[in-house]
């Protein structure tokens, strides 16, 4: 009996020791826990994190171990959100501007990891109060000051530096990229001597003619000649800087001809990898993020003197420009009030019409330039695309690969427009369809396997899994998954395939064909109209110098990219935007570097 009692006592002691070692209910043991979060871009479980907790349940580390969102675009959120959660011990942190969906996915993933850890998640939902200590005001100086770190701004920065100038770039957001990093990457350029151009019957003059005609001949002839004749040299310059391009050319939506070059890196990330590699490896060229330009200054002699900006903590940053200031702030597609004020083409450009653009496309540079006398031209020329995501308006999720191998289908299962037409023509036709809604239909000629990526680094399988596309082994199955009448879709595909065979214009006037839609599985993605590009803006000459209302040059002021007007006319050809920012960004950089 005594031996039994001793054994019972030993067992009780062991049980007590084990109980003391276990965490109390609602508390986590120190360790690493995993969680995932969904994203509209990357789909289900797009972001996976590992969260490290210490003995006091404090979050001491967060590592993103899987990121299916778009590289480059998601980078600021990947870097900023985990650090902010650790700093404030709260998942109630602000989303990163321009990477909201990735930010939300990271927060959801961290919350899932906390749930897996067994802690009380409410303890990590405390209000974040940030103490901002205003830094001292700063005075700076450079030969060339650039407002905006998008594609035009950084092309100008690198070029100005290559031409011997010191450079400071001011960017109001917390990242470089602008609209360029969101783009599909298509860049129109013709090398008249290439076999590709000869095979496509393409030429610089044909590019010029199509650009002029595509904008109803409202483009400035000298600017358009400058655009098309310097495009190929710009591509060569990018290659010399280390940027890669895929072989061949293709026709981008609204591009009218197969002259678009596709970068090797997804979306617009290749441009900024290239530019930032140059900037990071050279002196006297600097990019200042979270720095908002407020005013362009004018010296007593009437020459542009520099820029007054506000830093991240609210301090004033005054930057003197020895040679000149380049405005490269992009357009105003995200400024609803501004686009409604200037709209002359569309029935409504209010809040209900979404935009492809990044959050910073609010027309700031146009306002600042006008304040110092810049003339504004063609502000009513605003381009819409028929390719917006139904939820966000963004271009991501667009399932097409090129114009020749896809068709547009409305809710009734019918085609309704020439899919190789101008962007304004296609968008106007889409506005006439039920709910302004269509499907883009492709087959396995576009996606030989489910892991083939689109122009936005998203695979067909990922788009289907995220609910942003549907799939069918047959056209009949695809129609059922789209929710359109089977007989109508079958008839539309059969008619399209017949014209692919004959290469004759169909009832809509379409003449761009390559492959039949006859190879399953088939895919379809939903799209709606979206505001894409504002063709109006600051008037410039062929040297990217800004002109005043009398047509005279404003000394020391330059502009490049979507902030300018007069190049594209009423409608911009697809693939010409990246050509524009490259060509005139380089011209602005060279002109400003040489100005005194």
Q: Annotated active-site positions, please?
A: 423
- Please answer whether residues 188 and 233 qualify as being in contact, where contact means their C-beta atoms are separated by less than 8 angstroms: no
Alpha carbons 43 and 39: distance in angstroms, whole number: 5
Alpha carbons 452 and 444: distance in angstroms, whole number: 10
Alpha carbons 71 and 41: distance in angstroms, whole number: 11
Cα-Cα-Cα-Cα torsion 271, 274, 275, 281, nearest 10 degrees, comes to 170
Return the number of other C-beta atoms located less than 10 Å from residue 183's C-beta: 24
Alpha carbons 396 and 358: distance in angstroms, whole number: 12
Alpha carbons 558 and 273: distance in angstroms, whole number: 25
CA–CA distances in Å: residue 209 to residues 213, 241, 256, 539, 578: 6, 30, 11, 21, 18
- Please answer whether residues 511 and 420 qualify as being in contact, where contact means their C-beta atoms are separated by less than 8 angstroms: yes
Range 4-16 burial, b when 16+ CB lie within 10 A, else e:
eeeeeeeeeeeee
Beta bridge partners of 187: 261
Closest alpha carbon to 424 in 392, 454, 380? 380
Whether the bond between 521 and the residue before it is cis, its omega within 30 degrees of 0, is: yes
**Which residue has tokens 């379809």?**
524
Enumerate the H helices of 170-251 as residue ranges: 195-199, 204-214, 221-229, 231-241
Q: Which two tokens stand for residue 195?
A: 């076999």
Tell how many helices (H) and how many strands (E) occur in the chain: 16, 21
Alpha carbons 567 and 203: distance in angstroms, whole number: 19
Enumerate the H helices of 401-515 as residue ranges: 423-431, 460-465, 475-482, 486-502
**What is the SS3 assignment for 2?**
helix
Return the number of other C-beta atoms located less than 10 Å from residue 414's C-beta: 16
Q: Which two tokens stand for residue 260?
A: 């678009």
| Segments of 249-381 assigned E as strands | 260-261, 285-288, 292-298, 304-310, 316-327, 376-377
Q: Name the maximum alpha-carbon separation found in the chain.
A: 112
In eight-state DSSP terms, residue 453 is B
Alpha carbons 122 and 91: distance in angstroms, whole number: 10
Closest alpha carbon to 397 in 579, 238, 523? 523
Alpha carbons 435 and 427: distance in angstroms, whole number: 13
């Amino acid at each position: 009996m005594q031996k039994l009692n001793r054994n019972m006592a030993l067992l009780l002691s062991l049980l007590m020791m084990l109980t003391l070692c276990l965490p109390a209910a609602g508390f986590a043991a120190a360790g690493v826990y995993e969680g995932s979060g969904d994203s509209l871009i990357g789909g289900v479980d797009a972001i996976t994190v590992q969260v490290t907790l210490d003995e006091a349940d404090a979050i001491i580390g967060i590592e993103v171990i899987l990121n299916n969102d778009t590289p480059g675009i998601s980078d600021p959120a990947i870097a900023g959100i985990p650090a902010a959660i650790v700093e404030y011990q709260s998942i109630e942190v602000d989303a990163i501007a321009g990477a909201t969906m990735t930010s939300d996915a990271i927060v959801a993933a961290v919350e899932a990891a906390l749930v897996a850890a067994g802690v009380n998640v409410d303890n990590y939902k405390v209000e974040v109060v940030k103490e901002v200590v205003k830094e001292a005001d700063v005075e700076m100086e450079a030969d060339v000051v650039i407002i905006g770190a998008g594609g035009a701004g950084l092309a100008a920065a690198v070029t100005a530096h290559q031409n011997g100038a010191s450079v400071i770039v001011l960017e109001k957001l917390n990242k470089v990229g602008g609209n360029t990093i969101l783009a599909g990457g298509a860049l129109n350029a013709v090398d008249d001597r290439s076999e590709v151009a000869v095979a496509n019957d393409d030429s610089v003059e044909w590019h010029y003619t199509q650009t002029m005609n595509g904008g109803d001949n409202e483009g400035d002839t000298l600017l358009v000649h400058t655009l098309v004749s310097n495009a190929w040299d710009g591509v060569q310059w990018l290659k010399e800087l280390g940027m890669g391009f895929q072989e061949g050319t293709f026709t981008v939506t609204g591009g009218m001809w197969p002259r678009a070059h596709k970068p090797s890196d997804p979306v617009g990330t290749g441009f900024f990898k290239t530019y930032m590699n140059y900037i990071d490896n050279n002196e006297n060229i600097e990019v200042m993020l979270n720095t908002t330009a407020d005013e362009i200054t004018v010296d007593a002699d009437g020459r542009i003197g520099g820029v007054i900006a506000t830093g991240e903590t609210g301090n004033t940053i005054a930057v003197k420009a020895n040679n000149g200031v380049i405005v490269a702030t992009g357009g105003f597609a995200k400024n609803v009030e501004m686009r409604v004020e200037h709209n002359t083409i569309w029935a409504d450009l209010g809040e209900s019409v979404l935009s492809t653009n990044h959050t910073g496309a609010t027309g700031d540079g146009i306002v600042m330039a006008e304040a110092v006398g810049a003339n504004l031209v063609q502000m009513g020329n605003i381009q819409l695309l028929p390719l917006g995501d139904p939820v966000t308006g963004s271009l991501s999720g667009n399932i097409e690969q090129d114009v020749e191998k896809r068709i547009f289908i409305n809710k009734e299962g019918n085609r309704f427009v020439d899919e190789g037409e101008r962007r304004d023509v296609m968008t106007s036709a889409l506005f006439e369809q039920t709910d302004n809604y269509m499907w883009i239909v492709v087959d396995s000629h576009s996606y030989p396997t489910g892991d083939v990526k689109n122009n936005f680094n998203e695979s067909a399988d990922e788009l289907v899994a995220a609910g942003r596309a549907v799939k069918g082994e047959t056209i009949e199955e695809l129609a059922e998954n789209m929710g359109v009448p089977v007989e109508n879709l079958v008839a539309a595909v059969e008619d399209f395939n017949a014209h692919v065979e004959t290469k004759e214009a169909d009832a809509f006037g379409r003449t761009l064909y390559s492959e039949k839609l006859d190879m399953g599985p088939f895919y379809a993605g939903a799209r709606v109209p979206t505001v894409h590009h504002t063709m109006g803006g600051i008037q410039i000459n062929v040297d990217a110098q800004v002109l005043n209302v009398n047509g005279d040059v404003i000394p020391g002021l330059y502009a490049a990219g979507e902030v300018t007007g007069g190049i594209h006319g009423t409608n911009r050809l697809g693939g010409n935007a990246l050509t524009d920012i490259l060509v005139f960004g380089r011209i602005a950089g060279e002109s400003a570097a040489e100005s005194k």
